[in-house]
Structure 1
Amino acid sequence: MQLLLRDNIPFVSIFVIYKDTSIEIPSVLVDTGSATTILSADLVQIIQITPSPEDSLYTIRGVGGSEVVFSRKVDYLKLGEYMDYGFEINGILGMDFLVQAGTIINLRDMKIEFNR
């Protein structure tokens, strides 16, 4: 899977599958400094991922401030040919996914590969 650099920051596109419905989410930051994966609530609501009373709420903090997000388990995330089944969404492609996928970030060739 090819990394796309914007202002020297790496991005990829991923697919999110929830209840057998999928959506491609472009411009997902690959962030080894982020512990969790966070996706735009506006985009995932297209496949019926919306907050519900039983969802856990979390506050995330970054350089730009803080935001409250909800957590949801999806069927799987797909990056290139790698799929992660039953992955928790907290709402940036973080280390939780990158480690579980055995991701190798090849910056010379600007590619993400998987150690299977």
Structure 2
Amino acid sequence: MKSKLNIKNGLLYTSIKLTHEGSYVIIDNVIIDTGAFHTIITTDFLDELGAKFSNDDKLIEASGYGGASSYAVRKKIDSISCDSVALKDFKIDFGEIDPNERINGLLGLDFLKEAKIILDLEELVMYTK
């Protein structure tokens, strides 16, 4: 199955679903970012998911383009999916991305590589082999 992509302000957007301990949340306005090493989602969705902190969670320092840094929590969740593409026991960073709250997350290279995603920019879809 192919996931439809949108272009807004010159960036590729999609929606994802996070599932953890029987709860799930759908997150729109997630940028597909091949330049982001890790997937990062705003902390609001960690609260919506009802995910509790555990001893396995790690506080990490994330650095962005231009050297700006911030802190995030790296947490393993039960699954992350984009339409029919799903990965189980996936570590996601939860932190601040956009102080103006226009962006809900970055779907990073970690997800794209592990899921073996193919981006078709002519048809504006992504899928796996």
Structure 1 runs (4+) greater than 2 angstroms displaced: 49-55
The number of aligned residues is: 115
Gap runs ≥5 in structure 1: none
For structure 2, the 5+ residue unaligned runs are 95-105
Looking at structure 2, the residues matched to 54 and 99 of structure 1 have their Cα atoms a distance apart, in angstroms, of 23
Determine the structure 2 residue equivalent to 1:114.
128
Q: Map 1:34-113; keep pairs closer than 5 Å.
A: 34-51=36-53, 55-63=57-65, 65-91=68-94, 92-113=106-127
Percent identity of paired positions between Structure 1 and Structure 2: 25
Q: How far 1:50 sits from its partner (Å)? A: 4.9
| CA RMSD across the alignment | 1.5
The structure 2 residue matched to 1:10, chosen from 1, 9, 12, is 12
**Matched residues in 2 for 1:59 and 1:50: separation?**
20
Cα 1:50–1:6 change in 2 (3 A) is farther
Residue range with higher mean Cα deviation, 45-54 or 23-32: 45-54
Tell me which amino acid in the other structure corresponds to 1:80. Answer: D
Counterparts of 2:115 and 2:56, CA distance in 1: 28
What are the Cα deviations for residues 5-31 of structure 1, in whole angstroms up to 9, with x where unaligned? 111100100000010110001011100
State the distance in 2 between where 1:58 and 1:19 align. 23
In the other structure, the counterpart of 1:19 is: 21
Say if 1:51 and 1:70, in contact at 8 Å, map to a contact too: no
TM-score, length-scaled by structure 1: 0.91
Hey, which of these two has a bigger chunk of strand by percent? 2
Would the aligned equivalents of 2:118 and 2:126 in 1 still touch at CA under 8 Å? yes
C-alpha separation between the residues in 1 aligned to 2:92 and 2:120?
25
